[in-house]
Amino acid sequence: MLTKAKPPAQAQHADQLLTAAEHVMRRAFRQFIDNAREIDVESLLESGGINAVLDALELPIQRFAANWQHVFVEVGNREANSLELSKARQKKPTVTGVFQPGDPEAARLMEQNSLNLVTNLTNEQRKVVRNALVQGLREGLGTRDLAELFRSTIGLTEQQQRSLATFARAQRQARVEELRAGEEFVSTDKQIQRLVQRHARQLQQARAETVARTESLKITTLAREQALRQSARAVGQSEQFIGVEWVAALDSRTREAHRERNGARRRLGEDFAPGISKPGEGGPAEVINCRCQLVYEMFDTEEALQQWLAGGS
């Protein structure tokens, strides 16, 4: 039989894995922004236009996505080490679980999700950057100002990019009003640029937090489940006798659907809602900034599992 630490110890362990993953992914996304900001945008605009700038984003994005697989392996190993195993029909226990990144399913998950991350981020950033640069050209900006616009825009969502553009226009309009009113002190171009740069950094920081939490949740739930399944197979534990319980972070930020799901129990792999068998699955309304976790219970018989399932919320 395979056993796990009981809640809240198990939920706390999952939170620790999530926090560690977030730290790595947050740092990796910031590094992506910094790497992209080092692109020689002025030269690329002069030699190949906007498309050349967009193509130069490929390498920084791939470097960022590579962290997905590294974190997945780290989480899987740490989860396996937290498992306490007892081999079927043997009295001598094994102290740690099993996690092999080369397992076909684990390898498929890593390749599929890192590829999805590259594709989604590439499509988003190409659209966001293109929109910003095209608008800058319409406003008559030179290559130097376009390069600065690129550095302020990289990493943002479309909504954030529009918000930044609105903020910049508001600052310029405020200067016009100051001039019309004959103000003694009128904002300079450099002062406005610094304000816009500061606001851009705030938006980029917020984006890094969101990406880190969203991707880290997906990583930890998938890697923990892979370690669990591999460990169960290694000791003869039937995956059909593994139960999972949804644990929500109950505070003012918790989604109502997730609050209602707290304490719900299912057999491993079964859905809590259509298409959602674990936190990190579903559309943006389900996953962005989600902080929920799963905890596991192992049973020897169907009867014991059913009794446990009946005790869920």
Residue type, 101: P
Regarding whether 199 and 264 lie in a shared domain, the answer is no
Enclosing domain of residue 283:
238-313
pLDDT of 175: 82
Residue type, 115: L
Are 286 and 274 within 8 A, CB to CB?
Answer: no
Q: Write down which residue in 174, 202, 237 finishes a domain.
A: 237
Regarding whether 227 and 265 lie in a shared domain, the answer is no
Q: First and final CA of the chain: distance in angstroms?
A: 26
Regarding whether 178 and 198 lie in a shared domain, the answer is yes
pLDDT of 176: 84
**Distance in angstroms (rounded) separating the CA atoms of residues 235 and 98:** 10
pLDDT of 303: 95
Total count of domains within the chain = 2
Are 150 and 133 within 8 A, CB to CB?
Answer: yes
Regarding whether 124 and 97 lie in a shared domain, the answer is yes
* Tokens 């489940």 belong to residue: 225
Regarding whether 244 and 194 lie in a shared domain, the answer is no
Regarding whether 149 and 278 lie in a shared domain, the answer is no
Regarding whether 218 and 143 lie in a shared domain, the answer is yes
Regarding whether 306 and 174 lie in a shared domain, the answer is no
pLDDT of 65: 96
pLDDT of 5: 42
Are 243 and 309 within 8 A, CB to CB?
Answer: yes
Regarding whether 126 and 14 lie in a shared domain, the answer is yes
Q: What is the CA radius of gyration of the chain?
A: 25
pLDDT of 249: 85
pLDDT of 3: 44
Q: Write down which residue in 237, 267, 300 finishes a domain.
A: 237
Q: What is the 3-state secondary structure (H, E, C) of the chain?
A: CEECCCCCHHHHHHHHHHHHHHHHHHHHHHHHHHHHHCCCHHHHHHHHCHHHHHHCCHHHHHHHHHHHHHHHHHHHHHHHHHCEEECCCCCCEECCCCCCCCCHHHHHHHHHHHHHHHHHHHHHHHHHHHHHHHHHHHCCCCHHHHHHHHHHHCCCCHHHHHHHHHHHHHHHHHHHHHHHCCCCCCCCHHHHHHHHHHHHHHHHHHHHHHHHHHHHHHHHHHHHHHHHHHHHHHHCCCHHHEEEEEECCCCCCCCHHHHHHCCCEEECCCCCECCECCCCCCCHHHHCCCCCEEEEEECCCHHHHHHHHHCCC
Burial of 199 (0-12, 13-18, 19+ CB in 10 A): middle
Regarding whether 81 and 22 lie in a shared domain, the answer is yes
pLDDT of 218: 95
Regarding whether 310 and 232 lie in a shared domain, the answer is no
Q: What is the mean pLDDT of each run of 10 residues along the chain (313 residues)?
A: 54 92 98 97 96 97 97 96 63 68 96 96 97 94 95 97 94 85 80 93 97 95 95 89 91 88 94 94 89 90 94 86
What the block records as the tokens of 214 is 């969203």
Q: Write down which residue in 188, 216, 237 finishes a domain.
A: 237
**Distance in angstroms (rounded) separating the CA atoms of residues 183 and 201:** 29
Are 228 and 85 within 8 A, CB to CB?
Answer: no
pLDDT of 86: 54
Sequence-distant (≥ 6) Cβ neighbours of residue 72 within 8 angstroms: 101, 106, 109, 110, 113, 219, 222, 223
